[in-house]
Amino acid sequence: MKEAENNNTLDPACSVDEPPFSKIILKNLDLMGIWLFALLTLMTVIANLVFVEEVCYIYHKIPSSKRSIFIWINAAAPVIATTSCIGMWIPRSTMFTDFTAAVFFAIVIHKFLIMMIKECGGQKLFLRHFKNDHFKISTGPCCCCCLCLPYIRINRKTLFLLKLGTFQFAFLRPVLMFLSIVLWTNGNYNLSDLSLSGAAIWINCFIGVLTIIALWPIGIMFQQVRVLLNCKKIIPKFALYEFVLVLSQLQAAIINILAMQGVIACAPPLSPSARGAYINQQLLIMEMFLITLTSRVVYRKRYDDLDLSLDPDQETKVLYISKHHEKIQDFIVLLQFSFQ
Q: What is the CATH number of the domain that holds 39?
A: 1.20.1070
Q: How many angstroms separate the CA atoms of 77 and 241, rounded?
A: 9
In angstroms, the CA 231 to CA 237 distance is 12
Q: Does 118 reside within a domain?
A: yes
**Residue 159 covered by a domain:** yes
Q: Does a structural domain hold residue 337?
A: no
Measured over the CA atoms of residue 230, residue 232, residue 234 and residue 239, the dihedral's sign is: positive
pTM of the model: 0.82
Please name the residues in contact with 269: beta carbons below 8 A apart, sequence gap of 6 or more.
Answer: 13, 20, 24, 25, 28
Query: Is the CA virtual torsion 208, 226, 156, 151 positive or negative?
Result: negative
Instruction: Determine the structural domain holding residue 130 and report its residue range.
Output: 19-287
Q: Residue 85: exposed, middle, or buried by beta-carbon count in 10 A (0-12, 13-18, 19+)?
A: buried
Domain contains 256? yes
> Who's near 176: CB < 8 A, 6+ residues apart?
203, 206, 207, 210
Residue 10 covered by a domain: no
Domains: count for the chain: 1
Per-residue pLDDT of the chain (340 residues; tens, 9 = 90+): 444 444 444 466 566 667 778 888 888 888 888 899 999 999 999 999 999 999 999 888 888 888 899 999 999 999 999 999 999 999 888 888 988 998 999 999 999 999 999 988 888 888 888 888 888 877 766 666 666 677 888 888 989 999 999 999 999 999 998 898 888 888 788 776 667 777 888 888 888 889 888 988 998 899 888 888 888 888 999 999 989 988 888 888 888 888 877 788 777 777 788 888 889 999 999 999 999 999 988 888 655 555 554 444 444 443 343 344 444 444 433 444 443 4
Helix (H, G, I), strand (E, B) or coil at 135: strand
DSSP characters over 63-122: -HHHHHHHHHHHHHHHHHHHHHHHHHHSGGGHHHHHHHHHHHHHHHHHHHHHHHHHHTT-
Q: Is residue 336 part of a domain?
A: no
